[in-house]
Amino acid sequence: MELARALGDPLRWRIVELLATEQLCVAHLAEELQAAQPLVSHHLKVLREAELIEPDRYRYWTYYRLRPGALVRLAATLGLLARSDPSPAACRRLVPGPEHAPPTPARPPGQGGPAMPDGRLDPLSRATFARSIESLAEEFRGIYSLETIERFVDESIDRMAGARVVDFIPLFVHRFSREQLRALAQAEGAIIKDVPEVLFVCVHNAGRSQMAAALLDHHAKGRVHVRSAGSAPGDQINPAVMAAMDEWGIDLSREFPKPLTDEFVKAADAVITMGCGDACPIYPGKRYEDWELQDPAGQPVEVVRRIRDDIDTRVQQLLAELVPAGA
C-alpha cells in the first residue's frame, strides 16, 4: 500500500522511469520534468521514504538511483525500461547493468576523478567545467596544451571537493587551476614576472596565511603578486579571521584554503612560512622567512584582531623591503 501511495502521483512515476536507466541529480530531473526544483525535491523525499530510491554522493553532487530491491518490486512494470540502453549524456551517469560495458575503474584517491580511457576528464567534469577549460586554454594558448589544462582542472576538482562553500566550487577550481598554470609558466620562464611574487604558507591556509596575503595585496595595490597555501589545507576560512578582516573592509568570503604545490614555491621570489615546519621545499635564489605567530584556530575574534595587527606590521615591513618607496 505504501508503494502504491508513493507512486500515486504521475510526476513520481516519471521520476522512477528516468531513474530506471540513469542516475540523476535534482537539477537534471527538474530539467527533464520541466518542474521547479523544490517540487522535485519533495517528490524525491516521498520516494526515499518509500525506499524506492537512494542518494549517491559523487564529488559534491548528490545523485539519485533506484534501490536494487525496488527494481525487483517494479520488475513487471519497468522491465522494458530496465533493459533499455540509454545513450550516454554529459552530466549523467549510466546505471551499471549486464547490458552495459563494465565501468572504467576509478583512480586511487587523490589522483583525480573517474579515469577515462584517454586519461582525460570524465564527461561530468568536462561538461561542468567546460567554460573554465575553454577560458584557460585561450589564456595559455601557445604555452600549454589542452590536455595539460584539463589535467590541472581535473586535479583542482579533487583538491576542492572538500570545500564547504559548494556554490563557489566552480569558481575555486578555475582560480586554483589558473594560479597553478601561471605559477608553472613563471617558473619555466614562459611568462615574465613584472612584479615580485610572494607566497604565504601556514598549516591550514584558513587563517594566518590568508590574512597575510590579503593584507599584502591590500597595501601593495598591484606592486606585488600574492599567493597563499597550506601544508594541510582546511575546508573553509576561519570565521573569526573573516570577521576580523571584514572590520578593515577586506572581504575573504570568496577565498578558500589551497594546498601547497611545488609550482607555487618555484614561482615565488619570497616564501613566508607560519608554523608549517619544513613542509615547504627549499629552492636556491629565493627569500625564505618564518614568522612566529599565534594560531587563530579556535580563538575568539578579540584574539584574532591582535594576530591580524601583528601580521599587518610584518606585511608592511616586507612590502617596504620588496618594493622600496619610489620604485
Over residues 155-195, the pLDDT tens digits come to 887 776 655 545 566 778 888 999 999 999 999 999 998 99
pLDDT value of residue 103: 41
144, 185 in Cβ contact below 8 A?
yes
DSSP-derived secondary structure letter, 152:
H
User: CB-based contacts of 311: which residues, under 8 Å, 6+ apart?
Assistant: 208, 211, 212, 215, 291, 293
- Name the band, by pLDDT with cuts 50, 70 and 90, for residue 89: very low
133, 149 in Cβ contact below 8 A?
yes
Q: Where are the beta strands (DSSP E) in 159-309?
A: 197-202, 225-230, 270-273, 287-290
Q: Decide if pLDDT at 153 tops 80.
A: yes
pLDDT digits (tens, 9 = 90+) for 7-21: 778 888 888 888 877
pLDDT value of residue 64: 86
Q: Decide if pLDDT at 100 tops 50.
A: no
Average pLDDT over residues 208-226: 96
User: CB-based contacts of 307: which residues, under 8 Å, 6+ apart?
Assistant: 207, 208, 211, 244, 293, 294, 296, 299
Bridge partner list, 78: none
pLDDT value of residue 73: 57
User: CB-based contacts of 28: which residues, under 8 Å, 6+ apart?
Assistant: 91, 92
Q: What are the b/e assignments for 272-285, b being 16+ CB within 10 Å? A: bbbbbeeebeeeee
Q: Decide if pLDDT at 277 tops 70.
A: no
183, 227 in Cβ contact below 8 A?
yes
DSSP-derived secondary structure letter, 106:
P
Which region among 99-108, 131-140, 306-315 has the lowest average model confidence (pLDDT)?
99-108
Alpha helices in 282-323 (DSSP H): 301-322
Which region among 111-115, 220-224, 304-308 has the lowest average model confidence (pLDDT)?
111-115
pLDDT value of residue 81: 41
Which region among 144-153, 243-252, 277-286, 307-316 has the lowest average model confidence (pLDDT)?
277-286
pLDDT value of residue 58: 62
Q: Which three cell numbers stand for residue 63?
A: 545523485
Phi, psi of 252 (to 5 degrees): -105, 10
Q: How distant, in Å, are the alpha carbons of 20, 97, 211 from that of 101?
A: 17, 8, 50
Q: How distant, in Å, are the alpha carbons of 175, 251, 253, 291, 293 from that of 242?
A: 20, 7, 7, 21, 17
Average pLDDT over residues 274-295: 83
Q: Decide if pLDDT at 135 tops 70.
A: yes
227, 213 in Cβ contact below 8 A?
yes
CA distance 177 to 211: 22
Q: Decide if pLDDT at 321 tops 80.
A: yes
> What is the helix (H) or strand (E) element at residue 48, kind and residue range?
helix 37-49
pLDDT value of residue 304: 97
Q: Where are the beta strands (DSSP E) in 37-143?
A: 53-58, 61-66, 93-94
pTM of the entire predicted model:
0.60
Average pLDDT over residues 41-63: 79
